[in-house]
Amino acid sequence: MTKKRRTFTPEFKREAASLVLDQGYSHVDAARSLGLEESALRRWIKQLQQERNGVTPTSKALTPEQQKIQALETRVYRLERKKSTLNRRPRS
């Protein structure tokens, strides 16, 4: 029987990482109390630290500010592709 992969919201990941970064819990205690693998929690902690330092993550952002940046970057990318497509059309 295979284990079903659990998914977590960015808010949950941020709160879990915040237990260690802001509230003084150890990685082990926080992971155990939340029923998480320690490696997952360590990844979230590292990502949250980077986001707080202004680094836009390659995965789904945890902080609202980085989520907005990712949404705007996606919008810019789509608009640039649309503009590029329109510029390539033959003129009549």
* Confidence at residue 8, expressed as pLDDT on a 0 to 100 scale: 94
83 contacts 75 by C-beta, under 8 angstroms:
no
Residue 35, by phi and psi: left (phi above 0), alpha (psi -120 to 50) or beta?
Answer: left
Average pLDDT on 24-29 reads 95
pTM (2 decimals)?
Answer: 0.75
Average pLDDT on 4-24 reads 94
Alpha-carbon distance 10 to 68, whole Å?
A: 13
**Joined tokens for residue 24:** 């003084």
